[in-house]
Amino acid sequence: MEQDLNQFVQAILIASDPTQSSLHQQALQYLSAIQQNSSAWRLALAVFVETGPNGARKHPPQVRFFALRVLDEYFDNRFEPLEDETFQTLQQSLLNYIQTEYLYGSAEADASFLRNKFAHTLTLFFLCTYVDKWPSFFTDFFALIHPPESTSQTTFNPHVSLLLFHLVLEISGEVADQIIKAARQFTAERHARDTRVRDAVRERDAARINEAVLTIVADGVERMARLRKAGASPTLERELDSAVEVVDWGIRTYASYVGWIDINLTVTRDTVPLLFSLLSDGSLPIRLATALALTRIVSKGLKEPGDKLQLIKVLSLGQVLVALEEKTRAEQTSRGSDTDEGEESYREALGKLLNILGMELCKLTDECPDEGVRSEGAILLAQILPVMLRFMADEYDDTCSTIFPLLQTILLSYKRQRKSSSEPLDPTKRTFLSSLLTVVLEKLKWDEESDPEDMDEDDKAAFEDLRKELRTFMDSTLMIDPQLVTESVRTLALNTLNAYQNGVTLKWNDAELAIYLVYIFGEINKSGGKGRAAFCQAPALQRDKRKETDYSEYPLTSHGEMLYALIQSGISAYPHKTVVMQFFETVARYGDFFKVRKECIMPTLQAMLDVRGLHSPESSTRSRVYYLFYRFIREDRNEIAPDVAIQLLNSIRDLLVIEVELPELESPESQDMLQEAVSTPSIFDSQLYLFEATGTLVSLLHKTPDEAAALLLSVVRPLLDELSASLQSVKGPDDMLPIIKVHHIIMALGNIAKGFPEYPNPVPAGYIAPPLDVFREVGQAILVCLEAMNVFRVVRDATRFAFARILATTGSNVAQLIPTLMANLLAHFEPTELVDFMNFIGLSIHKLQEDLSDVLDQLIGPLSAHINGILAQPVTGTDDQVAHVDTKRAYLGLLTSIISSKLHTVFISDRNKSQLEGLLESMLRLAEDPSDPSSEKAAFSFFGRCVTAWAEPPKTSEGQQVFPGFERFVYERVIPTAFAVLSLPQFNIKDGQIVVVLQEIANLMQTVSKTRGQEAFDFFVSVFLPSQNWPPATAAEFATKMRELDGKAFRKYFTDFVRASRAGS
């Protein structure tokens, strides 16, 4: 044994010292093997308790700590009784250790971490022996708490007392703490064992545990009082600290078990005064522990509501909390700007206690069937509402938010009452709501000392989250009393804005709050109208009459008044960035207001244009205002006169200079600088909005085409010159700056085009086209760059981006550029570009129609072959799976775009008709695969459009069907496939996605029926459905419904029919 012991100790020492590399792994393996041994506990016990010749513990603390771990593993998850000899050995050794170390010794003073570890080990031993082996556990333990007669102590032994507290805390955690239970894997054996232990403690020892804990606490309180009066000396200070520690841990222990033992034991005429005295004790830890204990007492579940009401009345917590809130608030005020985090945590604990008290009262008032209990509960609840609001008004957000659950519950109760009653709101409730709004509006303000622009991001996010929470209370109050909320918000905002306009000095946070209230008023005032009606009390007008109407003669709504005051106040000039940015956010949000008060447009734009906004020296401000300016221009473009548009454009020309930023790469060897440069967020991303706004401003001169063309050219010419210069600077792939510059300029040119309205199709009479010659020149310049630089993906991506926007603006007027564009986009091609490329072709089909015919005829065959090759490859991982699905969906979308357009003949052209059979077969395979309902639906949709395009019978005897004989393929392959899918076991009719596929099949069949007429009817009734063993009457009814019902009715009929068939089979 001695040899094993020494080897065990040496192994632990080596394992805990990684520097002994040669033996470290060997020691770990040895210890792991030892722990598997059923008698390892004997070694561990000996190592932990063994003493040397001088009486001190023989082995180092880290060795003894590991020994406790071995004992833990032995005790934990042990649900069978220990053998008698094993139990007695452990019991005697541990009791002897407690006596020598805690009763007569220093309680591990040199290794305090061992105290907590030992308490946990002793708890695990208790759990597996208390019920069957050691029922006298607490009796034996309590005998150690009173000091032996041989010592000079006249009070309880503090070491043993603290061990008892830690032990009971651990036991409560193991058998009753739901958080601890939830954190570990559930086992039925542990659950049953914990239940047995909990019941046994309640039956045998709960009263004695509670009495011991409270007696030790009361003794400690007396000692604290005596020592505090005795004056200061090092010895007395140590004794006082010891007494405070005992009381603190004693109350924590009391709090740990009040939730699971009889309330009549824990709440008595003695404990309540004791707790209230400690709730205002001079020691912060004691106060915090007491607040937690009271919180758990109040939240304890009691069967009878009357008992809970009686408990609350006995505690009289409402009055106590009113006094303590007032006291702590006065102390908070006297501290001024000096923050005492400890004292603030105490106010937070009081807030949590009030919240639980209120929540329990709400349960009584809302859920109790006894009218008397409900009535008394309502009175008590009303008494704590004022103090709840005072906690909510606390300047510290953590304290403020403690009562949010209670407030939410109260407002929910008010809303329910409001819905069920048409009576006016009770005056006391309206008074409360008014006080609540006052607090909410005050808490919505930033702290005056804070600087949001220089705040920690987490702190900033925390305040924004608080604002959202406060907004929910405002919204709830709005549902109860809309007028109160809208009038309060309107009054505060208007008074603040008018005060500023009249020269009154405002704090920045008051100014920001006023603008913020205007910003959120559109969400608050849910009864307001939409569009112009939200801001102006004008009669409803037809859309075409709105532009001609002079809205200035109509009065403004409340929100309109607030926005008008916002602009007229001049508060956009307030010398604080946060205030100005909130102004910009607000005006950009409510563009419709400026359509009813056009005189407000220029003051707003002037603020955006100068150093407050677009020309701010701070890039973060410019970046955001680029977007807000674009949004304002887009929304109110029809209210801006051409001459004003020219002025605005001239004011931002200096901002249309593109600067390139190269990011710092974390892993230069594995990262692509070009891709990182274009994907890393930069101010250029925001600058693109400015280029789009530029296009919008130029488009406002559409009635004077020559002037519009000259203005557009004046904007794009510097960019084209710079594009040419950058192109010439690119000598190879290492010339990063000019390559990225080319990318950025092409993107900017594309966004200028995006600012123009879409080219109409068909073109209406009298339509004035945009400057097409300029856009052709832009497109040609981009193509020159693409031809020279098509090896660079960033250039290909930018070109697709730009041409998508140019096509939207010019329609088929740049069709002559498309063949060159497609050839160069495909000259160098990466698989990851495929989806974007197909989407681009889809857009081109929509915009160019027949003008794309030749290009598409050449492209569709090789592209389909390439895609089918990709889709045939095995999927090896998640990224592959995502790419595979995206490619398939984009391909199906492209095929559907082609077959739905006037270009569907490219599939049956001389060049491509030989590949048509393969294409149709691949679509049939997709249609047969219920594992991908989205693609399955797309395949059936494709076939339906094919029928419309290719199977329409000729209108005259001389005419010819577009694709002669296609109907045979439909009858022989497509229809049988559709019905076969319906009977597949994987075709789960309860799945919503499958139902969508089912309805697409219904659309397909009805399309066949309507396209082929009587021929299709005869096919279903006489050929196909009989082959599926349908009775003649059912087949005739089905074909008749298919022919005569509208689309929606037939889809419902078909879905119900299939559902009934599946249920009956």
Q: What is the pLDDT of residues 435-473, one digit of tens each?
A: 999 999 999 999 998 889 888 889 999 999 999 999 999
**At 883, is the pLDDT very low, low, confident or very high (cuts 50, 70, 90)?**
confident
- The arithmetic mean of pLDDT across residues 53-59, rounded, is 87
Burial group, residue 740, by CB count within 10 angstroms (0-12, 13-18, 19+): buried
- Using an 8 Å Cβ cutoff, are 1025 and 1039 in contact? yes
- Give the type of residue at 940: F
Instruction: Please report, for residues 212, 255, 279, 998, 1005, the alpha-carbon distance to residue 295 in angstroms, rounded to integers and kept in the order given.
Output: 22, 9, 12, 58, 68
**At 529, is the pLDDT very low, low, confident or very high (cuts 50, 70, 90)?**
confident
Q: What is the pLDDT of residues 855-878, one digit of tens each?
A: 899 989 888 888 888 888 888 888
- Using an 8 Å Cβ cutoff, are 150 and 127 in contact? no
Give the span between the Cα atoms of 851 and 839, in whole angstroms: 18
Burial group, residue 2, by CB count within 10 angstroms (0-12, 13-18, 19+): exposed
3-class DSSP assignment, residue 955: coil
Dihedral sign from CA coordinates of 418, 420, 423, 427 = negative
Mean pLDDT, all residues of the chain: 92
Residues of the chain with pLDDT > 90, as a percent, come to: 70
For helices 736-754 and 793-810, give the axis angle rounded to 10 degrees: 20
Give yes or no for residue 398 having a pLDDT over 90: yes
Q: What is the pLDDT of residues 618-672, one digit of tens each?
A: 999 999 999 999 999 999 999 999 999 999 999 999 999 998 988 888 888 778 8
pTM of the entire predicted model = 0.83
Look at residue 781 in the predicted model and tell me its pLDDT. Answer: 98
Dihedral sign from CA coordinates of 769, 770, 771, 772 = negative
H/E element holding 236?
Answer: helix 234-257
**At 96, is the pLDDT very low, low, confident or very high (cuts 50, 70, 90)?**
very high
- Using an 8 Å Cβ cutoff, are 917 and 863 in contact? no
For helices 878-900 and 853-872, give the axis angle rounded to 10 degrees: 150
Nearest residue to 510 (alpha-carbon basis) of 488, 495, 525: 495
Look at residue 1065 in the predicted model and tell me its pLDDT. Answer: 58
Burial group, residue 512, by CB count within 10 angstroms (0-12, 13-18, 19+): buried
* C-alpha dihedral (857, 858, 861, 863), degrees to nearest 10: -110
Helices (H) and strands (E) in the chain, counts: 50, 0
Give yes or no for residue 55 having a pLDDT over 90: no
Beta bridge partners of 57: 51
For helices 818-827 and 772-789, give the axis angle rounded to 10 degrees: 20
Q: What is the pLDDT of residues 121-148, one digit of tens each?
A: 999 999 999 999 999 999 999 988 875 5
Tokens describing residue 835: 């989806």
Checking phi first, is residue 811 left (phi over 0); if not, alpha (psi -120 to 50) or beta? left
Tokens describing residue 1033: 């009457």
Look at residue 543 in the predicted model and tell me its pLDDT. Answer: 66
Give the span between the Cα atoms of 1009 and 1046, in whole angstroms: 12
**At 307, is the pLDDT very low, low, confident or very high (cuts 50, 70, 90)?**
very high
Look at residue 150 in the predicted model and tell me its pLDDT. Answer: 46
Tokens describing residue 382: 């009303």
Cis check: omega of the bond before 762, within 30 degrees of 0: yes
Look at residue 70 in the predicted model and tell me its pLDDT. Answer: 93
Give yes or no for residue 232 having a pLDDT over 80: no
Look at residue 682 in the predicted model and tell me its pLDDT. Answer: 92
Residue where the block lists tokens 């050449």: 858
Maximal C-alpha separation, the chain:
127
Q: What is the pLDDT of residues 261-299, one digit of tens each?
A: 999 999 999 999 999 999 999 999 999 999 999 999 999
Nearest residue to 979 (alpha-carbon basis) of 1001, 960, 954: 1001
